[in-house]
Amino acid sequence: MTEETPGFEEKPDVPSGATPDDAESKAAPEEGAAPAGDADAGLVAQLDQVRTALNERTTDLQRLQAEYQNYRRRVERDRIAVKEIAIANLLTELLPVLDDIGRAREHGELVGGFKSVAESLETVAAKMGLQQFGKEGEPFDPTIHEALMHSYAPDVTETTCVAILQPGYRIGERTIRPARVAVAEPQPGAQTVKAEGAEENTEGKAADDKENGGPEEG
């Protein structure tokens, strides 16, 4: 009868050079391990999601940049417009002073210290963009001229400014005051008389040519 030694259990044979843990790991396969193909598919899906998110953020950034550029242009345009309006308002208040200087110059009263001050003021106004316009003899333009007096004249062929009662002023392309002028129109019937006279001269010349045997041939 064989006696068993208490406290000892039989263990399976373990190859030489191998530990019991190695044997257990070989005996029990890893649980929950995914095949290599499924892992690659998951990485590709994650990469696609990252690319999609990056494209969306890039589009948002481009839109924000375009909106910012438009905002800067609007601000700059508004700043220039406000500056032009402020300058125009200031120069408009100075126009009566410039009119007085012009009348004093016409009457020979612009002398001494007053002349220096007046010329300095005109120089500053010109540097701020103020331009004077309106000359005698130029065609009447209702967009820049204001007719205060009207007459007829035989020596004009169109409505003409014959006197500048008050010069006009502009800043760039913006007119801040039209030139106030006296205009003259062609004398009624003058063109008809002129046309009839020209026709009579033509007929007379033709008659003379006929009497003389026609125009000479070269």
Q: Encode pLDDT of 136-184 as tens digits.
A: 999 999 999 999 999 999 889 999 999 999 999 999 888 999 999 999 9
pLDDT of residue 9 exceeding 90, the answer is no
**Its pTM surpasses 0.85:** no
Q: Calculate ∠ Cα 18-23-24, nearest 5°.
A: 145
Cβ(178)–Cβ(146) below 8 Å: yes
pLDDT (0 to 100) of residue 110: 87
Nearest CA to 135 out of 143, 122, 144, 126 is that of 144
pLDDT of residue 121 exceeding 90, the answer is yes
